[in-house]
Amino acid sequence: MSEPGGDSATSATAILAAGAAATATPRDPRDPREAPARYRLIERLDEGAMGVVWIAEDTALHRKVAFKVLHDRLLGGDFQEQLAREARTMARLNHPNVVAVYDVGVHDGRTFVAMELVVGRSLGHWLDTPRRWDEVVAVFRDVAAGLVAAHDAGVVHRDVKPGNILVGDDGRARIADFGVAHAGRARAPDGAATDTTQGTIGSPAYMSPERLRGEPAGALGDQFSFCVALYEALCGARPFAGKTMADLLAAITAGPPPWPRPVPAWLEATVTRGLAADPAARFPSMRALSDALRGPAEPLARGAARVRIAVGAVVVVAAAVATTLAVVGRGPARRQAAQRRRGRRQARRRSMAGSAATPRRRRPRPSSSLRSARRPTTPPSP
């Protein structure tokens, strides 16, 4: 393949070759040389560009783990150190959305890593069931949180893709396989420290254009890869396609095609911005992209919640003040009512006393002449 900028094309070809070679069949996964005595291999779980992952039992702690070792073709050189670096990288990221690392070591000349065994499935298998856009966004919010933690720790993943995203049966998504990650220090134009990466292993279909050109890739490259995976999860196909690196770069430069599946306008705008060919046109950080994935409704809801809390607090305070005033004002009111009752009682007593002191007037007895006149006259007897 001959492309402008021969070094970039050669590097890109090496990337594709490395990905194709990953399908080579390793030794029997139950070969005792594959694991130290502490780990009992159960079954092969997955295979990637760098190594093979098995389900194994940690006989010391009596728990199942994901046990990863290098491919035979990668023994020697820098690859074993790279796998050990992956373990140290992931161990440094103590975050619920990053697969946890339990152990790292060398056995039979091979570097191995014992990691958290996530009960669930890869994002690709999770998407075999049709999902609503909000379900997809909820999973990618978890992934974004894990990447924010990685970037805060100075680590760039460089291989964000559906195969490296695990969706647990508990509903929580984790980012895995930091085998391509590399933390380096460089100086940005403004003098601030930033992370850069080097190397050629990764997944070209999800790579940022700067990585495809062979340039150092940083956190903004993770953002691009994240948005490629999110677009694919939402629309069922990747936004950019090409048989060669030049085709991919041309497609990225032209921008994503019209969205084949309707999604909210804010979500389309967010993902499209993360897919910008120019890193400066993307979100300034993964944290900013993560915030944008909350959507416009959530900040409004949080604002409304704050208003409701404030109104509730005012009502409570007002009720408390009213109660206090009622309690404080109850004393004088009671005293006044008692005084009125006493006044009425005293008035009744005075009235009764006055009535007792006044002699009762008797009606005068009629005179004898009147009494005799009133008597009936007895008629004379015949």
Give the end of a domain, one of 299, 329, 350.
Answer: 299
Give the end of a domain, one of 277, 299, 321.
Answer: 299
The answer on 164 and 106 residing in a single domain is no
> 191 in a domain, yes or no?
yes
Residue 34's pLDDT is what? 59
The answer on 151 and 31 residing in a single domain is no
Residues 6+ apart with CB under 8 A from 341: none
Whole-angstrom Cα distance, residue 228 to residue 272? 9
Number of folded domains that form the chain = 2
The answer on 255 and 174 residing in a single domain is yes
pTM score: 0.64
> 22 in a domain, yes or no?
yes
The answer on 91 and 74 residing in a single domain is yes
Residues 279 and 216 sit within 8 Å (Cβ to Cβ):
no
The answer on 69 and 54 residing in a single domain is yes
> 73 in a domain, yes or no?
yes
Residue 187's pLDDT is what? 30
Residue 30's pLDDT is what? 42
> 310 in a domain, yes or no?
no
Give the end of a domain, one of 279, 299, 319.
Answer: 299
- What CATH code is carried by the domain that includes residue 142? 1.10.510.10
Closest CA to 112 of 122, 103, 100, 120: 103
Residue 207's pLDDT is what? 92
Residue 156's pLDDT is what? 86
The answer on 154 and 77 residing in a single domain is no
> 377 in a domain, yes or no?
no
Catalytically active residues, by annotation: 159
Residue 138's pLDDT is what? 96
- What CATH code is carried by the domain that includes residue 112? 3.30.200.20
Hey, CA dihedral for 316, 318, 322, 327, is it positive or negative? positive
> 26 in a domain, yes or no?
yes
For the chain, list residues with pLDDT below 70.
1-34, 49-50, 72-77, 79, 83, 86, 179-202, 297-331, 354-382
In one-letter notation, the amino acid at residue 298 is E
Identify the domain containing residue 91 by its residue range.
Answer: 6-116
Whole-angstrom Cα distance, residue 113 to residue 249? 35
> 283 in a domain, yes or no?
yes
The answer on 88 and 213 residing in a single domain is no
> 85 in a domain, yes or no?
yes
The answer on 71 and 149 residing in a single domain is no
The answer on 164 and 18 residing in a single domain is no
Whole-angstrom Cα distance, residue 189 to residue 167? 38
The answer on 220 and 189 residing in a single domain is yes
SS in 3 state form for the chain? CCCCCHHHHHHHHHHHHHHHHCCCCCCCCCCHHHCCCCEEEEEEEEECCCEEEEEEEECCCCEEEEEEEECHHHCCCCHHHHHHHHHHHHHHCCCCCECCEEEEEEECCEEEEEEECCCEEEHHHHCCCCCCHHHHHHHHHHHHHHHHHHHHCCCCCCCCCHHHEEEECCCCEEECCCCCCCCEEEECCCCCEEEEECCCCCCHHHCCHHHHCCCCECHHHHHHHHHHHHHHHHHCCCCCCCCCHHHHHHHHHHCCCCCCCCCCHHHHHHHHHHCCCCHHHCCCCHHHHHHHCCCCHHHHHHHHHHHHHHHHHHHHHHHHHHHHHHHHHHHHHHHHHHHHHHHHHHHHHHHHHHHHHCCCCCCCCCCHHHHHHHCCCCCCCC
Whole-angstrom Cα distance, residue 84 to residue 86? 5
The answer on 150 and 16 residing in a single domain is no
The answer on 156 and 108 residing in a single domain is no
